[in-house]
Each structure stands twice: as structure tokens, then as C-alpha cells.
Chain A
Amino acid sequence: MKNKVITILFCLILATGVITHIVVSDKYYSENEKRTLKQFPKVSWEDIRTGKFGDEIEGYLADQFPARDGWVTVKTLTEKTFGKKESGGVYFAKDGYLIETHKTLSDQQIKTNIEALKHLQANMDKKGINMHVMLVPTAGTILSDKLPAYAPYADQKAVIDYAKSQGLNIVDVADVLSSHKDEYIFYKTDHHWTSLGSYYAYTEWMKAMGRDFDPIDAWTRETLCDNFRGTTFAKVNYPFAEYDTIDAYYKTLDHEVDYNEGDYVTDTIYERKYLEGTDQYAAFLNSNQATTVVKGGGTGKCLILKDSYANCFAQFAVDDFEETHLIDMRFFRGTVKKYIEENAIDEVLVLYNIPNFASDMAVMMCDR
């Protein structure tokens, strides 16, 4: 009798698994993970023969598993209950911070990328164009006292020191960020810095260029949303995570913005349609675009070679220049040097967060 119930229970569990998988239709995109989900693989003899088909089926089943996000929550809660200090590549840090666990960085990629920047800098020097490099330490470095006790975290300041020793014109923002570490300069549930954090870095850049800058009060602060849960939240789907606030800072809302050379032209750097979704940080400069040009009332033309850390950073710079150009090397298919010539750029800034700089293989394309 007892085992009859268990038999039936087990068959019911299996049947539920099978039936829900069949009944629930496949999703194409996961809002939470911000990635496309694997679809049922194409059947080909070659894939079956090599065993690739089997791997793809397993990936498909995992990606399309009913209530996938909920299961990730179950895992996170279990791990946290049993004393784990991290889960899915994220530290459970103090004060509700979820911080990516960058335990090691690729020395090889750092060297390659710095080498490429050295060449670009030499080329700029020849042409009399200013170039600065800003490698931004992430939350684990600046807010290291919030990490779990003894948690390993790669030494990002060593990357800055190495870049300096190689002769790059570095804008070191580690100290200014550290001196403001008690302010809200990093999101709790996302790997980006906040607009405020990027402002402090902006002041260092202005100093390096010998330009004046305004105090933060000179900008109007507007809260774009206060229900932001970003990338580090998505990795753990921790239900007790806090909500972040995204602030915009502007002197004027009107800027002529041109994405991808005429592809999409608009009149503001804030793309508010993203505020309705879960990827609200993308409101800054329309997520990541290959090229962006913002017209402002300032002087000179600057180019920022960047990752997404520059997207909120740029809002402070756009009024200082006549034109602010941004290039995301991951999507840009042109030649940077040519672009600089054609657009009469006179100021270049390379802006990356350090873990991204240490893994991004597109950076070196800037030297083409």
C-alpha cells in the first residue's frame, strides 16, 4: 500500500514534467536573464553522430523548463541557507549588495588590450590628439569591505598600475570612487556604477584634460525608476533582493542624438521605453549601439571608446563638447583611426570597467 502511493507519486511527477514541457509553449527570450533561450535543435545526422544533438537537447530542456526562474530561486535560497557566500557567480555582500565574483582576470587579454591601446595612443600623439584611458574598478574593489569575509577578488588596481607602467595616459578613478564609497555609487543588484559614481569619474577626466567642471548640483536630478533589479539579481533571482533607483542628471533634456550613422535619430539621450521593462539601465543612450553621436553646446569633439559603463557617464559630458561620439567596439565594424579623422575628433577617451576590459576581445580592434 505504502509503495503503491510512492509509485503513483513518482509516475505523477514524471508525467507532470513531461506534460508541462509539452503544453507550455517555448519562449524565445528570457526577460530575467536578458538572453535568448535555446530552441529545439535542428536534427542533423552530423550533430547526432558527434553527440552535439544530445548536448543541444539538454540545453534546450534546461532553458525551456517550466518556471525556470523559480527553480533558480530555489537553488539560491538553498545555497544561502547552507552558508554559501556566493551563488551563480555572485557574492551575497553586506547591505543587500549582490556583487559579481571576479576572482581572476586574464593577464593575457589585459596585455593584448593594453598593447593595442599603446599603439592607438602613439598614433594619436603623432596627430596631436589627446587620448586618455579610464579603467574603472568595479564594486568588489571599491566596496571591498562589503564583500563576505575573506572572499577572493582579483586585484583590479594592479591592472591600473600595469597600464600606467606601460605608458598609457591613465585617468585613475580608483581613489575618487573609494573616497565616495559610502555614497550610492554602485547599484546593489547590477554590475554597473550609478550615475553619481560616474560623475566622480567624470570630474577626474575633466581635471586630466584641464577643463573646468560644475558641482553635481548644477545638473537636474530625475529619478527614472526605483524598481530596478539588474544583472547580478538575474543571476541569482534572489527574492529578498532590494530595488535600485536609477537617476538621470541633465542640464537640458534636448540633445540631437544620432545612432549608427542615421539609423535612428532622436532628441534625447534617455530612451524611456526601457523603463517599462526589466533592462532599465538601457535607458541611457539606448542600450549598446555601435556608434552614437550627441550634439551639445560645448567646444571640441570627443570620442569615447567604451563599454556600457560609459552610457550613464556620457550624460555629464555631452554639454561640454560640440559633439560627443561613442563607439562600442563590440558592434563597430569600421576603422577607429579613420573615424577619428573623418569626424575631426580632438579628444579621445577609452572607458571600460576592468573585468570587461580584461575579457573583451573587441578592444584590440581599435588599433586597426
Chain B
Amino acid sequence: MVFSSLTFLLCFLPAVLLIYFAVPRKAKNAVLFLASLVFYAWGEPIYVVLMIFSTILDYTCGRLVEKFRGTSKKKIGLIISVCCNLGLLIFFKYSDFFIATVNGIFKTNIPQLNLPLPIGISFYTFQTMSYTIDVYRGDARMQKNIISFGAYVALFPQLIAGPIVRYQDIADQLDERTHSFDKFGDGVKRFVMGLGKKVLLANNIGLLWSMVSETEAAQLTLVGAWLGIIAFAFQIYFDFSGYSDMAIGLGKMLGFDFKENFNYPYLSKSVTEFWRRWHMSLGTWFRDYVYIPLGGNKKGLPVQLRNIAIVWILTGFWHGAAWNFVLWGIFYGVLLLIEKLFLLKRLEKAPAVIGHIYALFTVLIGWVLFAFDDLSKGLAFLKVMFGGGAGIVNSATLYQLLSYIPLMIICIIGSTPLMKNIYEKISKKSKEGFVLTADVVKILIVAGLSVAFLISGSYNPFLYFRF
């Protein structure tokens, strides 16, 4: 199930909220766990077994870690957890990729498994691993209650597309969290804005991208290609950050505080900064569980460069089982290395505008690699962006420009904190009643328009679904 569906908004959410707040505190985690399993099972019921397996496995591993703490077998729980989680991820997500690669190299003919990808597996295996590692390191206490642990693993707000919640960040909240009108109200505002980002901005600008990406490279113009990839940049940002907003908002309604996942990434002045602002929970995860354990930057420059390379190949690969994602990761790894070695210092001295242009330019090139599963198509698209297409503009490009300029402007404004700052400035100066009225109007308009678009359009894909 996805948040931007009528099933979620009209059936699931009302029912869950009603039951969740009706039951006593002690039963709330059980309600969450069961609700999350239903949420998960809605799309692919079979794989709910996988989720329950994952829950039991890591719960047991946590116990093993605790049991053998200080003994020679202290690593056993950790090793089982990491191997099993990575094993699951690799088996379900990468088998066919490896089979195709082996077939390609050795001219063998191993049949593909064609398994459907369990939804959110890239997210929840990372979360369950973080639990065992955190317990092993002593960053969090073992969870004794399997229901509470299950609620963490399956937690429906962030189950499908993150943010990736580290166990240590949420351990205390699982056992002890407060519910209040204040939190719930904030959650509502956050959820509705996230819904609007996804349904109104991402889906609609996505139509422009699909128009462009479905055009044959030979008929694509230079302006058309740039317009298209900018549209994709907005689509993936509003899609993904809208989803994170909805997750954070739902979390607040249920008493949780998740960490932020995006911080206006398109305002960055370097690639290094971009990755501090984009999908922050993934960056944090790789930092805490890969980069630092490998020695981080503490073991001299060569080791640090090696570590950066490892993290970025893995980051690329995490996004999808295809070479374009690996290339995308390497692209960022190389840029980050260059920045670390000398570029960052120069960028800091240069006027800010140069940093902005450089960062946006590289990010857009990155999105081309990201958007095309088929590398040859991606390269053909890049060629068009640099003048190798059907001229500069044609009537198709002009039509797209004329149709989408207003939405583009809204997306540009939406990628900056401009509206938020104006809102905060006004609300500081105004009476509470006025601010409240403004909030209510905002919620009604955004929710109303989102429903209108949801009902009318069948075009409602979730980009981060396949990861």
C-alpha cells in the first residue's frame, strides 16, 4: 500500500488511528505491528513471511549478542544478522543481475529467477541490521519484547521508502513515547504537505519527464533534454522527500520523532554538500555502519580514499541492480574524492553562484545516469544534452515549455525554504487566530487538490518503490 492511495487515506489510516488511540498504551505497539503487516501484505502478501522471518531472526540475534557478550562467541549474533540480512537483500534484489552478468561473461545460459522485488527490502534489511550492530556496539539496549521489535521492523510509516531509522534513534521511543495534540497537529501539517508534494508536484512534473524520456534520442532537442532531466530532478526530489514528509508526519501522529531525510538538496554548492542534504538517513547509515568501521578518515588519506570508493560503489548498487546505478555511485565517488583532494577548498573561495551552478550541473548529469536503466540510452541522452540531438528546439519542446513553465516555477520555489521562511515570518508577527486560519486553509486546499488529482488520474507511480 502507498500513502497516496485512496485505500490508505479512506480505509487504512482512519481505521489504524481509531484503534491505535482506543487501545491502552501497552497494546499500542501490537496494534502498530499488526497494522504494519497488513500494510505490507496489501501489495504482495507472500513476502509478509519474509518480514516476520526478518523480525524473528534479528530479535534472536539481539538476544545472542547479549547472551555471549564478553565471551569468545560475542560476534556470533552479529555475524548471523549481517549475513542473513545481506543474504536476503542480495538474493531477492541482485540474483538476476548476477546471473545476467555471469551469463554475459561466461556465455552460460543460467535461467533468470524473475522474483518480484519485496517492497522496501532495501530499507528494512538495513534497519534490522542496524539493530543488531547497535546492540553489539552498546549503542542501544536489547529489545526484550518481540512485539515492540516487530513494530520497529515493520513500522508502516517508513516501511516502503524510508527514512532509514537507526535503532538507536528510536529505541527509547519504542518503549516510551508521548502522544499529544501538539505532535499530532504538527504531524498532520507535515503529512498533508508531503502528500501535496507527491501528488501535485512530483506526479505532474513526472508527466513532462515521461514525455521527454519516451522520445527517441534522434528526435530529442538540446533544450528538450535539459528540460526533461530538470523535470526528472524535481520529480524524484518531490516524490522522495514528499514520501519522507508523509512518513515523518505519520510518525508524529503516532508519537514518534524520526530524523529529517532532506534539507533542500538543490541549494547545495558542492556535491559533498548535496549528499549531506539528500537522503540523509542513507548517508548516515553508510557513514555509521560502513565508512567509520572501515577506518573513516582516521587512518590516513589512502585509506580514506579507499573507504570513500567502497561506500559510493555500495551506495550506487543499493539503489538498484543495474550497471547504471553502479556507474552513478562511482560518478559521485569520484566527484567526492576530487572535492576532498582540492576542489572543495577552491569552491569555498569562489563566488557562491559558481558552486551552485557546478553542483546543479553535476547532479543533473548524475540523474541522467540514474534515470536510464539502459546505459546506452542514458549515454545517447547525454549526447543530446551536449548538442548531439535534433537541433536546439522544435515544436515538441516548445509545447512542453509552454505547458510546464508555471509548474517548473512552483517546483523551483518548492525546492527552496522561501515559502517556509515567509510563513514563519508572518506567523511570528500575526495573531494566533490568523495563523490557524491560514493553516486550516492550506491543509484544506492541499488535501482537496491532492484528492482531486488522485481520483482523476491513474498516473500515480512511486519512484522509490523499486529500491
A binds B: yes
Residues of A near any B CB (own CB < 8 A): 1-7, 9-11, 13-15, 17-18, 21, 48-49, 51, 54, 57-58, 61-62, 65, 68, 71-72, 74-76, 78, 82-86, 88, 148-152
B6 at the interface (CB under 8 A from A): yes
Beyond A7-B181, A14-B13, whether A75 also contacts B403 by CB under 8 A is no
Q: How far is the CA of A14 from the CA of B17 in the complex (A)?
A: 10
Binds A, one of B272-280, B312-320, B345-353, B449-457: B449-457
Give the complex CA separation of A5 and B438 in angstroms.
12
Provide the residues of chain A in CB contact with B46, threshold 8 Å.
49
Q: Which residues of A contact B407 (CB under 8 A)?
A: 82-83
Contact, CB under 8 Å: B449 / A74: yes
Q: Which residue of B lies closest to A66 (CB)?
A: B455
Q: With A51-B45, A151-B399 known to touch, is A2 a contact of B435 (CB < 8 Å)?
A: yes
Distance between Cα atoms of A13 and B448 in the complex (Å): 10
Query: How many angstroms between the C-alpha atoms of A319 and B182 in the bound complex?
Result: 78
- When distances are taken between beta carbons in the complex, the residues of chain B under 8 Å from A82 are 406-407, 410
| CB neighbours of B462 from chain A (8 A) | none
Contact A65 B6 (CB under 8 A): yes
Tell me which residues across on chain A come within 8 A of B406, comparing CB atoms. Answer: 82-83
Query: When the two chains form their complex, are residues B443 and A75 in contact, meaning their CB atoms are under 8 A apart?
Result: no
Known: A58-B5, A149-B399, A151-B399. Is A6-B456 also a contact (CB below 8 A)?
no
Q: Nearest-CB distance from B416 to chain A (Å)? A: 19
In whole angstroms, what is the CA distance A58 to B4 when docked? 11
Whether the Cβ atoms of A9 and B443 lie closer than 8 Å is yes
Kindly list chain A residues whose C-beta atoms are within 8 Å of the C-beta of B7.
54, 57-58, 61
Nearest 9 pairs between A and B by C-beta? Answer: A3-B185, A150-B399, A74-B452, A61-B6, A6-B185, A150-B395, A4-B181, A150-B398, A83-B406
When each residue 128-152 of chain B gets 1 if its CB lies under 8 Å from chain A and 0 otherwise, what string results?
0000000000000000000000000
Contact B403 A71 (CB under 8 A): no
Given A72-B455, A78-B452, the answer on whether A3 and B398 have CB atoms closer than 8 Å is no
Q: Using Cβ atoms and an 8 Å threshold, which residues of chain B touch A149?
A: 398-399, 402
B236 to chain A, nearest CB (A): 21
B432 and A5 contacting across the interface, CB-CB below 8 Å: no
- Main secondary structure on chain B at its contact with chain A? helix
Q: List 8 A-B contacts (CB under 8 A).
A: A2-B436, A5-B185, A6-B440, A13-B447, A49-B46, A62-B6, A82-B407, A148-B399
Question: Within the assembled complex, what's the spacing in Å between the Cα atoms of A5 and B181?
Answer: 9
How far, in angstroms, from A148 to B17 measured CA to CA in the complex?
Answer: 47
Please determine whether A2 and B439 come into contact, CB atoms closer than 8 angstroms: yes
Q: Are B10 and A49 in contact, CB atoms less than 8 angstroms apart?
A: no
Bound CA–CA A75/B449 (angstroms) = 7
User: Across the interface, do B454 and A62 meet the contact criterion of CB distance under 8 Å?
Assistant: yes
If over half of A's interface residues share one DSSP class (helix, strand or loop), that class is named, otherwise mixed; here it is helix
B87 within 8 A of A: no
**A6: which of B17, B43, B396, B439 is its contact (CB, 8 Å)?**
B439
Chain B residue nearest in CB terms to A21: B10
Interface check B42, CB cutoff 8 A? yes
Closest beta carbon of chain B to A148's beta carbon, Å: 7
Q: Specify which chain B residues have a CB less than 8 angstroms from the CB of A152 in the assembled complex.
A: 395-396, 399
B45, A7: Cβ atoms under 8 Å?
Answer: no
Confirm or deny: B306 has a beta carbon within 8 angstroms of a beta carbon on chain A: no
- Inter-chain CA distance A157–B45, complex, in Å, is 50
Given contact pairs A6-B189, A13-B447, A152-B399, a sample of 9 additional A-B residue pairs in the complex whose CB atoms are under 8 Å apart? A3-B184, A6-B436, A7-B185, A17-B14, A54-B42, A85-B402, A148-B399, A150-B396, A152-B395
Interface-centre pick from B9, B45, B455 (highest chain A CB count, 10 A): B455
| Cβ distance A178 to chain B, nearest Cβ, rounded Å | 20
Q: Which B residues, 1 to 24, have Cβ-Cβ distances below 8 Å to chain A? A: 1, 5-7, 9-11, 13-14, 17
Residue of B nearest to A45 (CB): B45
Q: Is the C-beta of B66 less than 8 angstroms from some C-beta in chain A?
A: no
Measured CB to CB, the closest approach of chain A to B4, in angstroms, equals 11
Q: Is the CB of B439 within 8 A of A150?
A: no
Known: A2-B185, A10-B443. A48 touches B45 (CB 8 A): yes
Instruction: Tell yes or no: B418 within 8 A of A by CB.
Output: no
Cβ of B50 within 8 Å of any chain A Cβ, yes or no, is: no
Asked if B10 contacts A17 (CB within 8 A), the reply is yes
Closest chain A CB from B25 CB (angstroms): 19
Annotate B200-241 by CB proximity to A: 1 below 8 A, 0 otherwise. 000000000000000000000000000000000000000000
**B456–A75 CB distance below 8 A:** yes
> Any chain A CB within 8 A of the CB of B405?
yes
Known contacts A5-B440, A75-B452, A150-B402; is-contact A10 B10 (Cβ 8 Å): no
Contact partner of B181 (CB less than 8 A), chosen from A3, A14, A78, is A3
| Candidates A7, A21, A57, A58; contact of B184 at CB < 8 Å | A7
